[in-house]
Amino acid sequence: MNFDLIVIGSGPGGYVAAIRASQLGMKVAVVERAELGGICLNWGCIPTKALLKSASVYEYAHHAAEYGVVVDGTIKPDFAAIVARSRGVADNMSKGIQFLFKKNKIEVIQGFGKLVAPHKVEVTAADGTVTTVEANHIILATGARSRELPNLPIDGEKIIGYRQAMTLAKQPESMVVVGSGAIGSEFAYFYNAIGTKVTLVEFLPNIVPLEDEEVSKQLERSFKKAGIKVMTNSEVLSVDTTGEKCSVIIKTKKGEETVEADIVLSAVGIATNLEGLGLEEVGVANERGKVIVDEFYRTNIEGVYAIGDIVAGPALAHVASAEGICCVEKIAGMDVHPVDYSIIPGCTYTTPEVASVGLTEKKAIEAGHEVKVGKFPFTASGKATAAGARDGFVKVIFDAKDGKLLGAHLIGANVTEMVAEMVLAQNLGATGHQIIKAIHPHPTMSEAIMEAAAAAYGEVIHI
Protein backbone atom coordinates (compact mmCIF):
# COMPACT_ATOMS: atom_id res chain seq x y z
CA MET A 1 0.00 0.00 0.00
CA ASN A 2 1.48 3.31 -1.12
CA PHE A 3 0.41 6.76 0.06
CA ASP A 4 1.51 10.36 -0.27
CA LEU A 5 1.35 10.71 3.51
CA ILE A 6 1.15 8.36 6.48
CA VAL A 7 0.37 9.84 9.90
CA ILE A 8 1.19 7.74 12.96
CA GLY A 9 -1.24 8.80 15.67
CA SER A 10 -4.74 10.28 15.36
CA GLY A 11 -4.77 12.85 18.17
CA PRO A 12 -5.46 16.56 17.57
CA GLY A 13 -2.14 16.87 15.75
CA GLY A 14 -2.41 13.70 13.69
CA TYR A 15 -6.05 13.77 12.61
CA VAL A 16 -5.95 17.48 11.74
CA ALA A 17 -2.76 16.97 9.69
CA ALA A 18 -4.37 14.04 7.87
CA ILE A 19 -7.54 15.95 6.99
CA ARG A 20 -5.64 19.03 5.83
CA ALA A 21 -3.37 16.86 3.69
CA SER A 22 -6.40 15.21 2.10
CA GLN A 23 -7.89 18.64 1.39
CA LEU A 24 -4.65 19.46 -0.44
CA GLY A 25 -5.02 16.43 -2.69
CA MET A 26 -2.81 13.89 -0.95
CA LYS A 27 -3.59 10.20 -0.58
CA VAL A 28 -3.50 9.75 3.21
CA ALA A 29 -3.44 6.93 5.73
CA VAL A 30 -3.56 7.17 9.52
CA VAL A 31 -2.07 4.50 11.77
CA GLU A 32 -3.73 4.30 15.19
CA ARG A 33 -3.35 1.64 17.88
CA ALA A 34 -6.27 2.81 20.06
CA GLU A 35 -9.32 5.06 19.66
CA LEU A 36 -9.47 7.65 16.89
CA GLY A 37 -8.98 11.13 18.29
CA GLY A 38 -6.10 10.22 20.58
CA ILE A 39 -5.74 11.08 24.26
CA CYS A 40 -7.24 14.58 24.00
CA LEU A 41 -10.54 13.47 22.57
CA ASN A 42 -10.86 10.15 24.41
CA TRP A 43 -9.01 10.61 27.70
CA GLY A 44 -8.18 14.31 28.04
CA CYS A 45 -9.61 17.60 26.81
CA ILE A 46 -13.14 16.50 25.90
CA PRO A 47 -14.20 13.94 28.55
CA THR A 48 -12.70 16.04 31.35
CA LYS A 49 -14.82 19.00 30.23
CA ALA A 50 -17.86 16.71 30.44
CA LEU A 51 -16.93 15.83 34.04
CA LEU A 52 -16.41 19.50 34.88
CA LYS A 53 -19.80 20.40 33.41
CA SER A 54 -21.46 17.82 35.66
CA ALA A 55 -19.67 19.36 38.66
CA SER A 56 -20.80 22.82 37.58
CA VAL A 57 -24.44 21.69 37.29
CA TYR A 58 -24.24 20.09 40.74
CA GLU A 59 -22.87 23.32 42.20
CA TYR A 60 -25.59 25.37 40.50
CA ALA A 61 -28.25 23.08 41.96
CA HIS A 62 -26.80 23.55 45.44
CA HIS A 63 -26.85 27.34 45.03
CA ALA A 64 -30.22 27.54 43.27
CA ALA A 65 -31.79 29.42 46.18
CA GLU A 66 -29.34 32.30 45.59
CA TYR A 67 -30.99 32.77 42.18
CA GLY A 68 -34.53 32.58 43.53
CA VAL A 69 -35.06 28.96 42.47
CA VAL A 70 -36.42 26.42 44.94
CA VAL A 71 -35.11 22.87 44.54
CA ASP A 72 -37.03 20.31 46.61
CA GLY A 73 -35.55 16.95 47.53
CA THR A 74 -32.02 15.63 47.94
CA ILE A 75 -29.30 16.88 45.63
CA LYS A 76 -26.43 14.45 45.30
CA PRO A 77 -23.96 13.43 42.61
CA ASP A 78 -24.50 10.12 40.83
CA PHE A 79 -20.83 9.37 40.25
CA ALA A 80 -21.41 6.40 37.95
CA ALA A 81 -23.78 8.46 35.80
CA ILE A 82 -21.32 11.36 35.66
CA VAL A 83 -18.57 9.02 34.45
CA ALA A 84 -20.91 7.33 31.97
CA ARG A 85 -21.93 10.69 30.49
CA SER A 86 -18.27 11.67 30.10
CA ARG A 87 -17.46 8.40 28.31
CA GLY A 88 -20.50 8.86 26.08
CA VAL A 89 -19.33 12.32 25.07
CA ALA A 90 -15.87 10.95 24.21
CA ASP A 91 -17.32 8.05 22.21
CA ASN A 92 -19.55 10.40 20.25
CA MET A 93 -16.63 12.66 19.38
CA SER A 94 -14.50 9.68 18.31
CA LYS A 95 -17.27 8.65 15.92
CA GLY A 96 -17.10 12.19 14.56
CA ILE A 97 -13.45 11.63 13.63
CA GLN A 98 -14.45 8.39 11.87
CA PHE A 99 -16.98 10.38 9.85
CA LEU A 100 -14.43 13.06 8.94
CA PHE A 101 -11.90 10.44 7.83
CA LYS A 102 -14.49 8.74 5.65
CA LYS A 103 -15.58 12.08 4.20
CA ASN A 104 -11.98 12.96 3.35
CA LYS A 105 -11.15 9.46 2.00
CA ILE A 106 -8.50 8.84 4.65
CA GLU A 107 -7.60 5.21 5.23
CA VAL A 108 -7.33 4.06 8.84
CA ILE A 109 -4.86 1.29 9.60
CA GLN A 110 -5.44 -0.10 13.07
CA GLY A 111 -2.31 -1.15 14.96
CA PHE A 112 1.06 0.00 16.30
CA GLY A 113 3.14 1.84 13.72
CA LYS A 114 6.92 1.63 13.55
CA LEU A 115 9.40 3.21 11.14
CA VAL A 116 11.46 0.56 9.38
CA ALA A 117 12.90 2.86 6.68
CA PRO A 118 12.61 6.59 5.84
CA HIS A 119 9.50 5.98 3.71
CA LYS A 120 8.23 2.73 5.18
CA VAL A 121 6.03 1.91 8.20
CA GLU A 122 5.40 -1.49 9.71
CA VAL A 123 2.01 -1.82 11.41
CA THR A 124 1.38 -4.56 13.95
CA ALA A 125 -2.31 -5.22 14.60
CA ALA A 126 -3.71 -6.41 17.93
CA ASP A 127 -3.83 -9.99 16.63
CA GLY A 128 -0.15 -9.87 15.68
CA THR A 129 -0.71 -9.41 11.95
CA VAL A 130 1.99 -7.27 10.38
CA THR A 131 1.35 -4.95 7.42
CA THR A 132 3.94 -2.79 5.67
CA VAL A 133 2.91 0.52 4.11
CA GLU A 134 4.94 3.11 2.23
CA ALA A 135 4.62 6.86 1.72
CA ASN A 136 6.55 9.81 0.39
CA HIS A 137 6.05 11.54 3.74
CA ILE A 138 5.54 10.20 7.27
CA ILE A 139 4.40 12.34 10.22
CA LEU A 140 4.97 11.09 13.76
CA ALA A 141 2.19 12.32 16.07
CA THR A 142 2.21 9.76 18.87
CA GLY A 143 1.54 12.11 21.80
CA ALA A 144 2.26 11.46 25.46
CA ARG A 145 1.09 9.73 28.64
CA SER A 146 1.18 10.39 32.39
CA ARG A 147 4.69 10.88 33.73
CA GLU A 148 5.61 8.74 36.71
CA LEU A 149 7.87 9.82 39.56
CA PRO A 150 10.08 7.15 41.18
CA ASN A 151 8.50 7.81 44.58
CA LEU A 152 4.98 7.90 43.12
CA PRO A 153 4.57 4.76 40.98
CA ILE A 154 1.12 4.52 39.39
CA ASP A 155 -0.59 1.23 40.28
CA GLY A 156 -3.95 2.15 38.77
CA GLU A 157 -5.81 1.55 42.02
CA LYS A 158 -4.54 3.70 44.89
CA ILE A 159 -2.03 5.80 42.98
CA ILE A 160 -3.59 6.78 39.69
CA GLY A 161 -3.00 8.88 36.57
CA TYR A 162 -5.48 11.06 34.70
CA ARG A 163 -6.99 8.14 32.75
CA GLN A 164 -8.00 6.27 35.91
CA ALA A 165 -9.22 9.54 37.45
CA MET A 166 -11.85 9.73 34.72
CA THR A 167 -13.20 6.23 35.20
CA LEU A 168 -13.01 5.33 38.90
CA ALA A 169 -15.56 2.71 39.92
CA LYS A 170 -16.71 4.83 42.85
CA GLN A 171 -16.21 8.34 44.15
CA PRO A 172 -13.41 8.51 46.73
CA GLU A 173 -14.09 10.18 50.06
CA SER A 174 -10.64 11.78 50.00
CA MET A 175 -7.92 12.43 47.44
CA VAL A 176 -4.43 13.92 47.28
CA VAL A 177 -3.64 15.54 43.93
CA VAL A 178 0.08 15.89 43.24
CA GLY A 179 0.82 18.67 40.76
CA SER A 180 -1.25 21.79 40.14
CA GLY A 181 -0.90 22.30 36.41
CA ALA A 182 -4.03 22.25 34.26
CA ILE A 183 -4.67 18.51 34.77
CA GLY A 184 -4.12 18.52 38.53
CA SER A 185 -6.10 21.70 39.14
CA GLU A 186 -9.04 20.60 37.01
CA PHE A 187 -9.33 17.25 38.79
CA ALA A 188 -8.89 18.95 42.18
CA TYR A 189 -11.81 21.24 41.35
CA PHE A 190 -13.98 18.42 39.95
CA TYR A 191 -13.62 16.02 42.86
CA ASN A 192 -13.91 18.76 45.49
CA ALA A 193 -17.06 20.14 43.81
CA ILE A 194 -18.86 16.79 44.05
CA GLY A 195 -17.92 16.25 47.68
CA THR A 196 -14.51 14.55 47.83
CA LYS A 197 -12.08 15.98 50.39
CA VAL A 198 -9.17 17.19 48.25
CA THR A 199 -5.59 18.15 49.11
CA LEU A 200 -3.62 19.78 46.27
CA VAL A 201 0.17 19.54 46.55
CA GLU A 202 2.48 21.75 44.47
CA PHE A 203 6.30 21.70 44.60
CA LEU A 204 6.62 25.30 43.36
CA PRO A 205 5.56 28.46 45.27
CA ASN A 206 2.38 28.94 43.23
CA ILE A 207 -0.34 26.70 41.83
CA VAL A 208 -0.83 26.76 38.03
CA PRO A 209 2.84 27.83 38.06
CA LEU A 210 3.03 28.85 34.38
CA GLU A 211 0.39 31.53 34.90
CA ASP A 212 0.84 35.12 36.01
CA GLU A 213 1.46 35.25 39.76
CA GLU A 214 -1.65 37.34 40.48
CA VAL A 215 -3.80 34.79 38.65
CA SER A 216 -2.22 31.98 40.64
CA LYS A 217 -2.90 33.72 43.95
CA GLN A 218 -6.53 34.36 42.96
CA LEU A 219 -7.10 30.72 42.00
CA GLU A 220 -5.53 29.59 45.29
CA ARG A 221 -7.93 31.86 47.21
CA SER A 222 -10.89 30.53 45.23
CA PHE A 223 -9.81 26.92 45.81
CA LYS A 224 -9.39 27.46 49.54
CA LYS A 225 -12.79 29.18 49.72
CA ALA A 226 -14.27 26.11 48.00
CA GLY A 227 -12.71 23.83 50.61
CA ILE A 228 -9.60 22.52 48.84
CA LYS A 229 -6.51 22.23 51.03
CA VAL A 230 -3.72 23.85 48.98
CA MET A 231 -0.10 23.04 49.87
CA THR A 232 2.53 24.99 47.89
CA ASN A 233 6.31 24.76 48.35
CA SER A 234 5.58 21.14 49.22
CA GLU A 235 6.88 17.79 48.02
CA VAL A 236 5.45 14.29 48.28
CA LEU A 237 8.26 12.16 49.72
CA SER A 238 6.49 8.81 49.74
CA VAL A 239 3.13 7.07 49.67
CA ASP A 240 2.37 3.99 51.75
CA THR A 241 -0.44 2.02 50.09
CA THR A 242 -0.34 -1.06 52.34
CA GLY A 243 -3.17 0.08 54.57
CA GLU A 244 -6.83 0.70 53.81
CA LYS A 245 -5.96 4.29 52.92
CA CYS A 246 -2.90 5.88 51.35
CA SER A 247 -0.53 7.46 53.84
CA VAL A 248 1.10 10.39 52.06
CA ILE A 249 4.21 11.95 53.61
CA ILE A 250 4.61 15.54 52.44
CA LYS A 251 7.63 17.75 53.03
CA THR A 252 6.68 21.37 53.72
CA LYS A 253 8.55 24.46 54.88
CA LYS A 254 7.43 23.66 58.42
CA GLY A 255 8.54 20.04 58.29
CA GLU A 256 6.97 16.73 57.31
CA GLU A 257 3.20 16.23 57.33
CA THR A 258 1.21 13.04 56.81
CA VAL A 259 -2.09 13.16 54.92
CA GLU A 260 -4.44 10.16 54.70
CA ALA A 261 -6.43 9.70 51.51
CA ASP A 262 -8.32 7.01 49.59
CA ILE A 263 -6.65 7.92 46.31
CA VAL A 264 -3.50 9.74 45.21
CA LEU A 265 -3.66 11.31 41.75
CA SER A 266 -0.29 11.88 40.11
CA ALA A 267 -0.52 14.91 37.81
CA VAL A 268 3.16 15.78 37.56
CA GLY A 269 3.41 16.15 33.81
CA ILE A 270 3.69 13.90 30.79
CA ALA A 271 6.15 11.51 29.15
CA THR A 272 6.33 11.29 25.36
CA ASN A 273 5.45 8.13 23.44
CA LEU A 274 8.65 7.44 21.53
CA GLU A 275 9.31 3.84 22.53
CA GLY A 276 9.21 1.28 19.74
CA LEU A 277 8.78 3.84 16.95
CA GLY A 278 12.00 2.79 15.23
CA LEU A 279 13.68 6.16 15.69
CA GLU A 280 17.07 4.68 16.48
CA GLU A 281 16.91 2.11 13.67
CA VAL A 282 16.09 4.74 11.06
CA GLY A 283 18.35 7.38 12.63
CA VAL A 284 15.78 10.02 13.61
CA ALA A 285 17.50 12.43 16.00
CA ASN A 286 15.90 12.88 19.40
CA GLU A 287 17.01 14.27 22.74
CA ARG A 288 15.53 14.09 26.24
CA GLY A 289 12.32 12.50 25.04
CA LYS A 290 11.72 14.96 22.20
CA VAL A 291 12.21 14.48 18.45
CA ILE A 292 14.43 17.22 17.01
CA VAL A 293 12.71 19.13 14.18
CA ASP A 294 13.12 22.37 12.24
CA GLU A 295 10.54 25.17 12.06
CA PHE A 296 8.44 23.12 9.62
CA TYR A 297 8.68 19.89 11.69
CA ARG A 298 11.15 18.13 9.42
CA THR A 299 13.45 15.69 11.20
CA ASN A 300 17.03 14.98 10.13
CA ILE A 301 15.71 12.12 7.98
CA GLU A 302 14.22 13.19 4.65
CA GLY A 303 10.49 12.47 4.46
CA VAL A 304 10.03 12.02 8.22
CA TYR A 305 8.33 14.70 10.33
CA ALA A 306 7.17 15.04 13.94
CA ILE A 307 4.50 17.20 15.62
CA GLY A 308 2.67 17.62 18.92
CA ASP A 309 3.78 16.50 22.35
CA ILE A 310 6.82 14.62 20.99
CA VAL A 311 8.53 17.84 19.85
CA ALA A 312 9.65 20.85 21.89
CA GLY A 313 6.95 23.37 22.73
CA PRO A 314 3.73 23.55 24.77
CA ALA A 315 1.98 20.16 25.05
CA LEU A 316 -1.44 21.51 24.07
CA ALA A 317 -4.03 20.15 21.65
CA HIS A 318 -4.41 23.39 19.71
CA VAL A 319 -0.64 23.68 19.34
CA ALA A 320 -0.44 20.16 17.89
CA SER A 321 -3.23 21.01 15.42
CA ALA A 322 -1.46 24.20 14.32
CA GLU A 323 1.81 22.28 13.88
CA GLY A 324 0.08 19.59 11.83
CA ILE A 325 -1.46 22.12 9.45
CA CYS A 326 1.82 24.02 9.13
CA CYS A 327 3.68 20.77 8.42
CA VAL A 328 1.41 19.45 5.67
CA GLU A 329 0.99 22.83 4.00
CA LYS A 330 4.78 23.08 3.76
CA ILE A 331 4.91 19.53 2.33
CA ALA A 332 2.33 20.64 -0.25
CA GLY A 333 4.59 23.51 -1.34
CA MET A 334 2.53 26.34 0.10
CA ASP A 335 4.04 29.60 1.36
CA VAL A 336 3.84 28.92 5.09
CA HIS A 337 4.71 30.99 8.13
CA PRO A 338 6.12 29.02 11.08
CA VAL A 339 3.98 28.73 14.21
CA ASP A 340 4.56 31.70 16.52
CA TYR A 341 5.10 30.12 19.93
CA SER A 342 5.07 33.49 21.68
CA ILE A 343 1.31 33.79 21.05
CA ILE A 344 -0.08 30.49 22.33
CA PRO A 345 -3.20 30.63 24.52
CA GLY A 346 -3.45 28.40 27.57
CA CYS A 347 -6.68 27.47 29.34
CA THR A 348 -7.48 25.76 32.64
CA TYR A 349 -11.13 24.80 33.11
CA THR A 350 -11.45 25.10 36.86
CA THR A 351 -13.99 27.32 38.60
CA PRO A 352 -13.04 30.08 38.17
CA GLU A 353 -11.51 29.41 34.75
CA VAL A 354 -8.01 30.56 33.86
CA ALA A 355 -6.88 31.72 30.41
CA SER A 356 -3.79 33.51 29.21
CA VAL A 357 -1.66 34.43 26.21
CA GLY A 358 1.73 36.06 25.82
CA LEU A 359 4.09 37.25 28.52
CA THR A 360 3.36 37.44 32.22
CA GLU A 361 4.20 40.74 33.90
CA LYS A 362 7.33 39.20 35.40
CA LYS A 363 8.49 37.72 32.08
CA ALA A 364 7.85 40.98 30.24
CA ILE A 365 10.02 42.92 32.68
CA GLU A 366 12.72 40.23 32.57
CA ALA A 367 12.70 40.53 28.76
CA GLY A 368 13.57 44.22 29.08
CA HIS A 369 10.18 45.75 28.36
CA GLU A 370 8.99 48.89 30.06
CA VAL A 371 5.37 47.98 30.74
CA LYS A 372 1.96 49.45 31.34
CA VAL A 373 -0.30 47.09 33.30
CA GLY A 374 -4.07 47.31 33.56
CA LYS A 375 -6.38 45.24 35.71
CA PHE A 376 -10.17 45.12 35.98
CA PRO A 377 -11.94 43.00 38.63
CA PHE A 378 -15.14 41.11 37.88
CA THR A 379 -16.55 42.50 41.12
CA ALA A 380 -17.07 45.69 39.08
CA SER A 381 -18.70 43.87 36.15
CA GLY A 382 -22.48 44.10 35.83
CA LYS A 383 -22.69 40.84 33.87
CA ALA A 384 -20.51 38.96 36.37
CA THR A 385 -22.56 40.33 39.27
CA ALA A 386 -25.83 39.33 37.59
CA ALA A 387 -24.44 35.86 36.95
CA GLY A 388 -23.23 35.46 40.53
CA ALA A 389 -19.68 34.94 39.28
CA ARG A 390 -17.65 37.84 40.65
CA ASP A 391 -14.40 35.99 41.39
CA GLY A 392 -11.48 36.98 39.20
CA PHE A 393 -10.20 39.72 36.93
CA VAL A 394 -8.65 40.60 33.57
CA LYS A 395 -5.03 41.74 33.54
CA VAL A 396 -3.35 43.13 30.42
CA ILE A 397 0.27 44.07 29.82
CA PHE A 398 1.38 46.57 27.18
CA ASP A 399 4.76 47.82 25.98
CA ALA A 400 4.98 51.35 27.35
CA LYS A 401 6.93 52.54 24.28
CA ASP A 402 4.78 51.40 21.35
CA GLY A 403 1.59 50.40 23.21
CA LYS A 404 1.49 46.87 21.78
CA LEU A 405 -0.13 44.07 23.75
CA LEU A 406 2.49 41.82 25.34
CA GLY A 407 0.25 39.52 27.38
CA ALA A 408 -3.22 38.99 28.80
CA HIS A 409 -4.16 37.00 31.90
CA LEU A 410 -7.75 36.24 32.78
CA ILE A 411 -9.38 34.41 35.68
CA GLY A 412 -13.14 34.16 36.06
CA ALA A 413 -16.28 32.66 34.60
CA ASN A 414 -16.08 31.82 30.88
CA VAL A 415 -12.69 33.47 30.37
CA THR A 416 -11.56 30.52 28.24
CA GLU A 417 -14.10 31.79 25.69
CA MET A 418 -12.79 35.37 25.97
CA VAL A 419 -9.06 34.86 25.52
CA ALA A 420 -9.29 34.37 21.73
CA GLU A 421 -9.86 38.13 21.40
CA MET A 422 -6.50 38.71 23.05
CA VAL A 423 -4.80 36.11 20.84
CA LEU A 424 -6.09 37.89 17.74
CA ALA A 425 -5.13 41.29 19.16
CA GLN A 426 -1.58 40.13 19.83
CA ASN A 427 -1.36 38.43 16.42
CA LEU A 428 -2.33 41.69 14.73
CA GLY A 429 -0.02 43.82 16.87
CA ALA A 430 -2.90 45.69 18.48
CA THR A 431 -2.18 48.54 20.88
CA GLY A 432 -3.84 49.38 24.15
CA HIS A 433 -5.72 52.32 22.67
CA GLN A 434 -7.02 50.22 19.79
CA ILE A 435 -8.49 47.78 22.32
CA ILE A 436 -9.95 50.66 24.36
CA LYS A 437 -11.61 52.17 21.28
CA ALA A 438 -13.01 48.84 20.05
CA ILE A 439 -16.60 49.00 21.28
CA HIS A 440 -17.38 46.00 23.47
CA PRO A 441 -21.03 44.96 23.97
CA HIS A 442 -22.74 45.67 27.27
CA PRO A 443 -23.40 43.85 29.51
CA THR A 444 -20.77 41.18 28.87
CA MET A 445 -17.83 39.65 30.69
CA SER A 446 -15.66 40.69 27.73
CA GLU A 447 -16.12 44.38 28.63
CA ALA A 448 -13.52 43.69 31.31
CA ILE A 449 -10.89 43.43 28.55
CA MET A 450 -11.63 46.97 27.36
CA GLU A 451 -11.78 48.24 30.95
CA ALA A 452 -8.47 46.57 31.85
CA ALA A 453 -6.83 48.20 28.83
CA ALA A 454 -8.31 51.54 29.88
CA ALA A 455 -6.98 51.02 33.41
CA ALA A 456 -3.46 50.66 32.00
CA TYR A 457 -3.76 54.18 30.54
CA GLY A 458 -5.67 55.82 33.41
CA GLU A 459 -8.91 55.92 31.47
CA VAL A 460 -10.97 53.25 33.23
CA ILE A 461 -14.58 54.23 33.92
CA HIS A 462 -16.05 51.63 36.26
CA ILE A 463 -13.48 51.34 39.05
Tell me how far CA of residue 456 lies from CA of 368, 433, 451, in angstroms: 18, 10, 9
* Half-sphere exposure for 315 (CA within 13 Å, toward CB): 23
Q: Quick one: angle between helices 415-427 and 447-456, nearest 10?
A: 50
366 marked ligand binding residue = no
The answer to whether 331 is a known ligand-binding residue is no
181 is in an annotated binding site: yes
Question: Residues near 364 by Cβ (< 8 Å), separated by ≥ 6?
Answer: 371, 397, 406, 407
Are 289 and 272 within 8 A, CB to CB?
A: yes
Q: Is 323 annotated among the ligand-binding residues?
A: no
Strands 270-272 and 263-266: unpaired
Flag whether 86 is marked binding. Answer: no
Q: Are 177 and 187 in contact (CB under 8 A)?
A: yes
To the question of whether residue 227 is assigned a binding role by annotation, the answer is no
Q: State yes or no: is 442 an active-site residue.
A: yes
222 is in an annotated binding site: no
Question: Is 4 annotated in some ligand binding site?
Answer: no
**Partners of residue 405 on adjacent β-strands:** 398
Whole-angstrom distance, CA of residue 299 vs CA of residue 444? 46
37 is in an annotated binding site: no
Task: Quote the DSSP letter at residue 337.
Answer: P
Q: Would you say 184 is a known binding-site residue?
A: yes
Residue 258 forms beta bridges with which residues?
A: 249
> In what helix (H) or strand (E) does residue 374 lie, and over which residues does it extend?
strand 371-377
Task: Check 63, 119, 137, 442 and give the catalytic one.
Answer: 442
Contact status, residue 386 vs residue 433, Cβ threshold 8 Å:
no
Query: C-alpha angle 407/409/410, rounded to 5°?
Result: 150
Q: Binding residue per annotation — 212?
A: no
**Amino acid identity, residue 232?**
T
Q: To 10 degrees, what angle do helices 317-331 and 14-23 make? A: 30
Tell whether residue 202 is among the known ligand binding residues: yes
Helical residues (DSSP H) of 104-168, grouped into ranges: 162-165
In 3D space, the residue among 194, 36, 6 whose CA is nearest the CA of residue 118 turns out to be: 6
Q: Phi first, then psi: what are they for 184, rounded to 5°? A: -60, -45
Q: State the binding site.
A: 49, 113, 179-186, 202, 269, 309
Q: State the binding site for NAD(+).
A: 179-186, 202, 269
* Residues labelled catalytic: 442
Q: State the binding site for FAD.
A: 49, 113, 309
